[in-house]
Amino acid sequence: MAKFKLLFVDDEVDFLSTIEEFFSGLGYTVVTASNGPQGLLRLKETLPDLVFLDISMPHMDGSETLRLIRELDPKVQVIIVSGYASENLARELLAQGAYDFFQKPIDLFQLHHTIERLFMLKDLAEY
């Protein structure tokens, strides 16, 4: 099974570095962006299979970024990863088309399990 391309949009440099090292080590192509506008540019440039999106970022928050991602690519799966979102905001983002929500600090192995499950379902749907 080929590995997939992941886009992580988060303003925490240490978090992006850890994520990139972990998932690259598992064979994924990892693309990162430090804010919403940069994330949208990376989305257009790289056409990732899955986007991970922080909520609280400078220049453009995650809610607005999610809305614009949906306009650019309604089929790409988006997972929210945030340390500051409330339960109500998480529900709202899921209603706007996010696939899942992870509260920081996250368990990277649990996140990896979610990615593998998503891609297994995608493979089954295409079969």
87-97 pLDDT, tens digit per residue, is 788 788 888 88
Model confidence band, residue 126 (pLDDT cutoffs 50, 70, 90)? low
pTM of the complete model: 0.91
Q: Which CATH number does the domain housing residue 68 bear?
A: 3.40.50.2300
How many domains is the chain built from?
1
The neighbour count for residue 45, using CB atoms within 10 Å, is 10
Owning domain of residue 11: 5-126
